[in-house]
Amino acid sequence: MSPLPTPLPDAEAQCRQLAELIRPLLAERLALVGIHSGGVWIAERLKELLGLGEEIGHIDVSFFRDDYAAKGLHPQVRPTVIPFEVEGRHLILVDDVLYTGRTTRAAINELFDYGRPAKIELAVLADRGGRELPIAAQYCVWKTEPLAGAENLVLARDTENRLVWSLEHV
């Protein structure tokens, strides 16, 4: 197993790269939905970088996880807010890290409670492999080397509100 690059990539630069991948879609009736919490931070950056006027959606998948019974309720559950009509929209679901695919599946399940989108695509900063479901990101700027089971790639905000990566050993 190869180690991750040191230092880890610049998450702000990755957001700019992701925005450029999505920019060609701006002619479509597109809306962004960020998965709490890292996906929301990235969706906010994308909204700014792409000059989108419409508010982004925020989704918390805690109640839709297929492992809810095993994990229980996360202590910081946030409300899902979808400030636009989902029916018939092209949605870009935004998350920080794609790993097993279970969070993405849960987010899609929840989105369908709000209507039937025309299309849902996934945008992530990092794909760390390890899929357990047939889920893939259409927009991704960093495919990492596989991580050990006891390692997590974590996106956070620094003291100046910039997005930064860290590696957490659990």
The string of pLDDT tens digits covering residues 78-137 is 789 999 999 999 999 999 999 999 999 999 999 999 999 999 999 999 999 999 999 999
Domains within the chain, CATH numbers bracketed: 11-169 (3.40.50.2020)
Of 19, 75, 156, 157, nearest to 167 by C-alpha is: 156
Give the three-class secondary structure for 165: strand
In the predicted structure, residue 64 carries a pLDDT above the cut 70: no
> CB neighbours of 24 closer than 8 A, spacing ≥ 6?
none
